[in-house]
Amino acid sequence: MKSLLKIQQKLIPQVMELMERRYCILRQISLSEPIGRRTLSNVLGISERVVRSETEFLKEQNLIDVAVSGMTITQEGIKLLDELKDMMNDIMGLSTLQEKVREKLGIKKVLLVPGSYDSNPSLIKDVAKCGAEYFLSILKDEDVVSITGGSTMFEFSNTIKTDKKYENVTVVPARGSMGKDVEIQSNNVVATTSKKLNSHYKLLHIPDELGEESMKTLTQEPQIKNTLDMIAKTDILVFGIGIAGEMAIRRKLPIEKVEEIVEKGAIGEAFGHYFNEKGEIVCKLNTVGIHLETFKNVRESIAIFAGTRKADALIAMTNINKNMVLITDEESANRILEL
């Protein structure tokens, strides 16, 4: 198949261009359904005339449905997207880019989805789905899975799809509660993930940051201690990337502390630790959940993020731990190489 594709690229390159365009249109419909032609045209930067022609073809092939509310993908369309994914990654140069980024960062593996989250925020669903598929491919019986909170992890939990029951797996939050948005807090992400896996789970009903005395008292409470002990046994850690200044503000730190963290050169945050571009810890808070040493020693660390603005924080994180799998979008990968 690859040999045939190379011949086609040489002799009839317009066929490959057409195939790539139809693949991108079908993929975008799956991400944004239901979606209208005008919106699809704006998102992909393709004229409405071309979008109309191509979507009519996709409808004739029973790959999409068209209704007043917008276009949606059919089961046949979903199956075709899955079958084409690896081949299209080769055609679009993603496989080569993945390897370049992996070598540059010196990490275990890199998986990319085509496109730019910066110009197409709906891409976060595809990034999260890619992360969920990899996660399921390495999940083992009796694993302890720790997951952080955040909007990316929320999408990750929602895109998990499996018929298998993981009755001996335990899912736990990697950290305590933070902020007022309950939907994207670690506890909620854990509960959703566990439901999708048909697994056990434990929650951590405690604020992420505590004073020293409160920390000592609460962490000895039997239910909390039991969850913390389980977190320390983490086999798989799934997490998003935090920008130092933004995370400090989300934690409602005093403005003086936020300024201090930034002035010390912190660009990223993970598990209550603020680190600079070299991966050196410049500030540590009293937080409840996974410790940095646990992060360094887990069997599988899966970092999922989208957006070029987080690229430098990701690079810094790889200086802390090389045993990491990165899942992100194409433009963010190119930004990593630039940095």
The 10s digit of each residue's pLDDT in 32-89 is 999 999 999 999 999 999 999 999 999 999 999 999 999 999 999 999 999 988 888 8
Q: Rounded CA gap, 253 and 36, in Å?
A: 43
Query: 166, exposed or middle or buried, with CB in 10 Å at 0-12, 13-18, 19+?
Result: buried
Residue-level pLDDT at 10 = 72
Question: At 27, is the pLDDT very low, low, confident or very high (cuts 50, 70, 90)?
Answer: very high
pLDDT of residue 285: 79
pLDDT of residue 178: 58
- Where along the chain do the CATH 3.40.50.1360 domains lie? 94-338
For 143-254, where are the alpha helices, taking DSSP H only? 151-159, 186-197, 212-218, 222-231, 244-250
- Whole-angstrom Cα distance, residue 272 to residue 185? 15
Note the CATH architecture for domain 94-338.
3-Layer(aba) Sandwich (3.40)
Domain boundaries for CATH 1.10.10.10 within the chain: 2-91
pLDDT in tens, 135-192: 999 999 999 999 999 899 999 999 999 999 999 999 999 987 655 667 888 999 999 9
**Per-residue pLDDT, 180:** 61
CATH fold group of domain 2-91: Arc Repressor Mutant, subunit A (1.10.10)
pLDDT of 238 reads 97
Q: What angle do CA 246, 291, 322 make, to 5 degrees?
A: 80
Residues in the chain: 339
Q: Is the pLDDT of residue 209 over 70?
A: no
- Which whole number is the average pLDDT over 237-263? 88
> What pLDDT score was predicted for residue 312?
93
Give the predicted TM-score (pTM) of the model. 0.87
Instruction: Find out whether the peptide bond into 34 is cis, omega within 30 degrees of 0.
Output: yes
Q: Is 247 a residue whose pLDDT tops 90?
A: no
